[in-house]
């Protein structure tokens, strides 16, 4: 039974949802809790070692599937992977000069926030702008992917990666300022 969970099933199949950019977060949350309860390794502590290992692998697969489907970036990468398109997180970049220039400007703005008189306000403003642009990239991905334009969808994912890294830097600076 557990081996069927981590076999050739897609994350979408595991959660009994259609393969699509759009997801029902509440349904995924509910299904995740059901799967966690059903396949939690603690339920198999009295079983033989092979079954314990399989339970741990199944739980890890369920957790990975959940994290992938909930995250817009990971979900986009996974949808492309299902189409046979792998994205190298570290080495993939965009040739969009305007976008890259914008990223440099945003990083410079972030670096200067600590020295401002009102760093929290500036950081909040930057975070709001980043969130808006990230949402726009998600729309771009959805439209490209749905239309079968996988090159453009991949370009959107690469840009989304830039924003996720920048959002992480914003969170780190926020923690530092609160310090």
Residues 140-153, mean pLDDT to the nearest whole number: 97
Question: What pLDDT is stored for residue 149 in this prediction?
Answer: 97
Q: In 3D, which of 149, 137, 138, 145 has the Cα closest to residue 96?
A: 137
Counting DSSP H helices and E strands in the chain, the numbers are 8, 0
Instruction: Quickly state the pLDDT bin for 5 (edges 50, 70, 90).
Output: low
Beta strands in the chain (DSSP E): none
Q: What is the C-alpha R_g of the chain?
A: 20
Q: Which pLDDT belongs to residue 93?
A: 78
**Domain identity same for 53 and 120:** no
Q: Which residue has the tokens 């977060």?
A: 25
56 and 103 housed in the same domain:
no
In a domain, 174, yes or no: yes
pLDDT band at 4 (very low <50, low <70, confident <90, very high): low
CA distance 65 to 71: 10
Q: Would you say residue 83 has pLDDT above 90?
A: yes
Report if residue 86 sits inside a domain.
no
- Residues 156, 137: Cα–Cα separation, whole Å: 6
Please report which confidence band the pLDDT of residue 9 belongs to, taking 50, 70 and 90 as the band edges: confident
Point out the least confidently predicted range of 6-20, 69-83, 114-128, 159-173. Answer: 6-20
For residue 41, give the DSSP letter: G
Whether 80 and 88 have beta carbons less than 8 Å apart is answered as: no
Asked if residue 126 belongs to a domain, the reply is: yes
The candidate with the shortest Cα–Cα distance to 78, out of 166, 13, 34, is 13
- Return the pLDDT at 38: 86
Residue 138 lies in a domain: yes
How far is it, in rounded angstroms, from Cα 178 to Cα 23? 34
Domain that holds residue 57: 2-70
């Amino acid at each position: 039974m557990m081996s069927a969970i981590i076999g050739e099933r897609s994350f979408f199949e595991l959660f009994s949802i259609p393969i699509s950019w759009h997801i029902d977060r509440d349904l995924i949350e509910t299904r995740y809790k059901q799967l966690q309860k059903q396949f939690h390794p603690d339920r198999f502590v009295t079983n033989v070692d092979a079954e314990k290992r399989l339970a741990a692998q199944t739980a890890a697969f369920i957790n990975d599937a959940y994290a992938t489907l909930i995250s817009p970036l990971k979900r986009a990468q996974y949808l492309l992977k299902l189409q046979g398109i792998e994205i190298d997180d570290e080495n993939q970049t965009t040739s969009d000069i305007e976008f890259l220039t914008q990223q440099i400007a945003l990083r410079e703005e972030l670096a200067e926030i600590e020295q401002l008189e009102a760093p929290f306000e500036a950081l909040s403003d930057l975070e709001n702008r980043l969130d808006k642009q990230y949402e726009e990239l998600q729309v771009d991905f959805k439209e490209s992917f749905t239309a079968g334009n996988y090159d453009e969808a991949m370009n959107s994912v690469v840009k989304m990666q830039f924003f996720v890294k920048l959002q992480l830097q914003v969170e780190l600076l926020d923690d530092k300022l609160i310090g």
